[in-house]
């Protein structure tokens, strides 16, 4: 009898442990490495595989890498209208979970393909138990699509910060909704949203700080998402992300965070107002780069503020 009880208890422990483990998600998923073919061919085939399966490629660009890095990185910004519709059913602020991104890069094992993990991102943006099935199924779908894009070693490895919940705590962390900042707002009347979005775009495209508009995603009558990027910022972020993992065989491992960019600038309607919003940049860095470690954040405390100041300046330049 005692032995039976012991085995039952052990079985429950194992079930509980496996359940907990199943809830741990990385910010990114490395689908495969050692991909065959040239880097450019892998990028092209990945774009085609995504498009074939209903994902729109909004942008495809060579990501910046740290100085002296002999590796390459490429980012694809992707969106599925049906997926976006389900995410946006939870309100305009859920737009920060869109669009998704794919990173293609080289490391000591050759060419690798990864993606921003919706199972992790959506827990942070939407909540731990909101659209859980959709998030996990979308991750599985992306893993399958990307694995079909190239011959290689399929590993589906969780990467980046591994979290057991959506809440991002510690220095720079906090509740997601509290980290959304209004950088401009006006009363919603007439064509306010359309006109505001156009002026934000004009400010971005005319900036002199090195930022560029990577994509514009119109999500209906209430939301427009702009993705912005700056080569210097991107390269430095990847350098920081890889510092503690550098080795003789890989001097810039941080390029495996290629799916962390671009940065979102969002225009939306909310409670009778048209708002231009950003995610607090320290918080955003925490979400996408927490695995760099506390020391990395301490050494680069001024970086998020500088990024936020520049983005705010250009996004509101034509709204003043």
CB 84 within 8 A of CB 63: no
| pLDDT > 70: percent of the chain | 93
Tokens (6 digits) for 191: 């064509």
Mean pLDDT of 79-94: 98
What span, in angstroms and rounded, lies between the C-alpha atoms of 18 and 266?
A: 38
The yes or no reply on domain 23-315 and CATH 3.30.365.10 is: no
Mean pLDDT of 212-216: 98
Say if residue 256's pLDDT is above 60. yes
pTM: 0.92
Q: Give residue limits of the domains in the chain.
A: 23-315
Confidence of residue 115 (pLDDT cuts 50, 70, 90): very high
Sheet holding 211-218, edge to edge: 180-187, 273-279, 263-270, 223-230, 211-218
Close Cβ partners of 295 (under 8 Å, ≥ 6 residues apart): 244
Confidence of residue 17 (pLDDT cuts 50, 70, 90): very low
Say if residue 198's pLDDT is above 80. yes
- Check whether the bond before 179 is cis (ω within 30° of 0): no
pLDDT given at position 4: 43
Say if residue 20's pLDDT is above 50. no
pLDDT given at position 302: 96
φ, ψ of residue 183 in degrees (nearest 5): -100, -10
CA-CA distances (angstroms) from residue 62 to 59, 179, 229, 230, 264? 10, 29, 11, 12, 18
pLDDT given at position 18: 36
Say if residue 305's pLDDT is above 60. yes
Say if residue 215's pLDDT is above 70. yes
Say if residue 19's pLDDT is above 50. no
* Model confidence pLDDT, tens digit, residues 140-149: 999 999 999 9
| pLDDT > 90: percent of the chain | 91
What span, in angstroms and rounded, lies between the C-alpha atoms of 283 and 290?
A: 10
Say if residue 7's pLDDT is above 90. no
Confidence of residue 185 (pLDDT cuts 50, 70, 90): very high
């Amino acid at each position: 009898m005692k032995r039976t009880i012991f085995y039952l208890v052990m079985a429950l422990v194992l079930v509980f442990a496996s359940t907990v483990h199943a809830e741990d998600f990385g910010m990114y998923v490395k689908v495969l490495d050692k991909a065959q073919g040239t880097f450019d061919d892998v990028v092209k085939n990945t774009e085609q595989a995504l498009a074939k399966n209903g994902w729109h490629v909004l942008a495809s660009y060579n990501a910046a890498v740290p100085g002296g890095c002999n590796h390459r990185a490429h980012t694809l910004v992707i969106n599925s209208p049906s997926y976006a519709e389900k995410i946006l059913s939870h309100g305009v602020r859920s737009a920060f979970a869109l669009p998704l991104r794919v990173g293609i890069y080289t490391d000591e094992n050759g060419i690798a393909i990864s993606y921003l993990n919706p199972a992790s991102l959506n827990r942070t943006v939407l909540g731990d138990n909101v659209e859980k099935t959709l998030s996990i199924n979308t991750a599985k779908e992306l893993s399958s699509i990307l694995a079909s894009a190239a011959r290689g070693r399929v590993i589906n490895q969780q990467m980046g910060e591994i979290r057991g919940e959506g809440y991002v705590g510690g220095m720079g962390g906090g509740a997601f909704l509290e980290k959304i900042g209004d950088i401009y707002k006006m009363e919603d009347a007439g064509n306010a949203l359309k006109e505001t979005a156009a002026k934000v775009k004009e400010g971005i495209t005319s900036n002199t700080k090195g930022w560029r508009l990577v994509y514009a995603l119109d999500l209906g009558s209430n939301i427009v998402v702009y993705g912005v990027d700056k080569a210097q910022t991107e390269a430095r972020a990847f350098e920081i992300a890889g510092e503690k993992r550098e080795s003789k065989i890989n001097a810039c491992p941080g390029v495996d965070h290629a799916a962390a960019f671009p940065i979102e600038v969002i225009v939306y309607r909310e409670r009778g107002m048209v708002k231009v919003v950003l995610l607090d940049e320290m918080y955003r860095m925490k979400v996408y780069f927490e695995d760099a470690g506390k020391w990395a954040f301490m050494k680069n405390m001024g970086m998020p503020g500088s990024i936020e100041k520049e983005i705010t300046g250009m996004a509101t330049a034509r709204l003043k």
